[in-house]
Amino acid sequence: MENGGNGNEAPAWRFGAASPGLEAARAQSIRALVYRMYDCLDRGDARPVAPLAHGDPAAFACFSAAPPATDAVAAAAASGAHNTYAPAAGLAEACSAVAAHLSRELPYEVSPADVVLTAGCNHAIEIMMSVLASPGANVLLPRPGYPLYASRAALSGLEFRHFDLLPDREWEVDLAGVEALADENTVAIVIVNPNNPCGCVYSRDHLAKIAATARKLGIMVISDEVYDHFAFGSKPFVPMGVFGEVAPVVTLGGISKRWMVPGWRLGWIAATDPNGILRKKKIMESIIDYRAISVDPVTFVQGALPEILAKTEEAFFSEALGVVRQAAEICYEKLRGIECIACPHKPEGSMFVMAKLDLSRLDGIEDDVHFCSMLAREESVVICPGSGLGMKNWLRITFAVDPQLLEDGLERTKSFCQRHAKIKETHS
């Protein structure tokens, strides 16, 4: 009721949405930009939409979840043993399972006490960008990167600075740039490996150099390894924690990508720090304190985690990786066939690739956002404009899509580019 109660006039409501942190975070949000591309779609087009903007392979039949994992979740739910709240760090047996899972590939044992379960890897990012937000502190983030780091840092008032990934050096970290960017208030550097959005995988040698740089600067490395083992090129995946002796490493991970179940919302934060520096500096304590006042991952998924990690067979991963490798191959070859798009580095990991637009070959297209909006409208292909990642006139494309639809989407992109190509000047 507008003027129910006793007064005739509506009161001057005192609330309004004006959180400065939220305003700053919104500016970094990539979802809003991708939604704008979806808004451009022509609903009259009978062709299926080719969704090449955001990675969610679980939407396609060719990427189904591992049966032992779905069995484990069903059994955990049916058992009735996981209907309670879980401890702030997560169920003890699930933390132990993650510690054992990570330790298999490290030269030391990760303690279960150094593992905190989160509601997906995004929650792990939220927690890290919140606990590090001491007054004046700053973190170093990759460009191009995964935009949630900047959004979350902005929301918690943590200053962020971008260092470059170098396209002509297989998207390696510009380490000289990192050193130039850091100052006495820098607390951490974030890397993503295998990398979203560049599709690169860092060599052991490059990771060693990142660790040495972090040590020199006295900062921790936050290593986002949600795509761990999603490496299908010549370089194997090496966990950053291997260099935990050199500089403290916080490893972020989860089951969303490798197990193809992002909807299950289960991730983790692990201190892969054999010298116990993060513990001494009370970082782990702060992480658990933050977790205690934040959301919990669903208890029965936590309860199923030991079985999910132990029972999923290698064949499941190699099969999924085979499909993604084939899709990456299709993506790269199709992009190479489009004149106005250049792909500096063939993808060898994750589910994404960055490609550069050559606007000089296109007629009447102003920038990447304009390109993607028109492509959505005319061809029902949705691609993420690089602007959303700080890379104007680049495109971020996911290939974790049904291969047939991927091929079709990139064919349509090619005809779009041909239709809008600048007519070559002929000399008479």
Least distance to ligand PLP, CB of residue 7, Å: 47
> In this complex, which beta carbon is closest to ligand PLP, that of residue 133 or of residue 226?
226
Q: Give the C-alpha separation, 244 to 239, whole Å.
A: 10
Q: Which amino acid is at 367?
A: D
Residue nearest to ligand PLP (CB): 120
Judged by beta carbon, residue 257 or residue 414, the one nearer ligand PLP is 257
**Could you tell me which of 225, 222, 188 has the C-alpha nearest to residue 101?**
225
Minimal distance, residue 120 CB to ligand PLP, in Å: 3
Nearest approach, Cβ of residue 192 and ligand PLP (Å): 5
Question: Rounded to an integer, what is the distance from CA 262 to the centroid of its chain?
Answer: 12
Query: Cα angle vertex 353, ends 351, 356, to 5°?
Result: 165
Residue among 340 and 384 whose Cβ is closer to ligand PLP? 384
Collapse the DSSP code of 401 into the 3-class scheme (helix H, G, I; strand E, B; otherwise coil) and give the result: coil
| Residue 13: CB minimum distance to ligand PLP, A | 35
Give least dist CB 414 to ligand PLP, A: 27
Closer Cβ to ligand PLP, 51 or 120, answer by number: 120
Binding site for ligand PLP (CB under 6 A): 120-122, 146, 192, 196, 224, 226, 254, 256, 262, 267
Report the C-alpha gap between 89 and 347 in whole angstroms: 35
Residue 56 CB, shortest distance to ligand PLP, in Å, is 9
Closest CA to 69 of 312, 328, 348, 372: 312
Query: Smallest distance from the beta carbon of 240 to ligand PLP, in angstroms?
Result: 14
CB closer to ligand PLP, 262 vs 386: 262
- Whole-number Cα distances in Å, 161 to 20, 70, 164, 188, 195: 19, 40, 10, 11, 19
Residue 37 Cβ vs ligand PLP, minimum distance, rounded to whole Å: 18
By beta-carbon proximity to ligand PLP, the closer residue of 54 and 281 is: 54
- Residue 381 or 389: the one with the smaller Cβ distance to ligand PLP is 389
DSSP string computed for 159-198:
EEEEEEEEGGGTTEE-HHHHHHH--TTEEEEEEESSPTTT
Of 331 and 338, the one with the shorter C-beta distance to ligand PLP is 331
Of 48 and 263, which has the nearer Cβ to ligand PLP? 263
Distance CA 137, CA 128 (A): 13
Residue 309 contacts residue 73 (beta carbons within 8 Å): no
**10 Å Cβ neighbour count for 14?**
5
List all residues 6 or more positions away from 160 whose beta carbon is below 8 Å from its beta carbon: 138, 139, 140, 141, 149, 150, 153, 154
Q: What secondary structure letter does DSSP report for 351?
A: S
Q: Are 163 and 178 in contact (CB under 8 A)?
A: yes
Comparison of 118 and 373: residue with beta carbon closer to ligand PLP: 118
Minimal distance in Å, beta carbon 200 to ligand PLP?
A: 13
Q: How many residues does the chain have?
A: 428
Please, where are the H alpha helices in 66-147? 67-79, 92-103, 121-131
Nearest distance from C-beta of residue 370 to ligand PLP, angstroms: 26
Nearest by Cα to 45 from 416, 422, 417, 418: 416
Rounded Cα distance between 188 and 219, Å, is 5
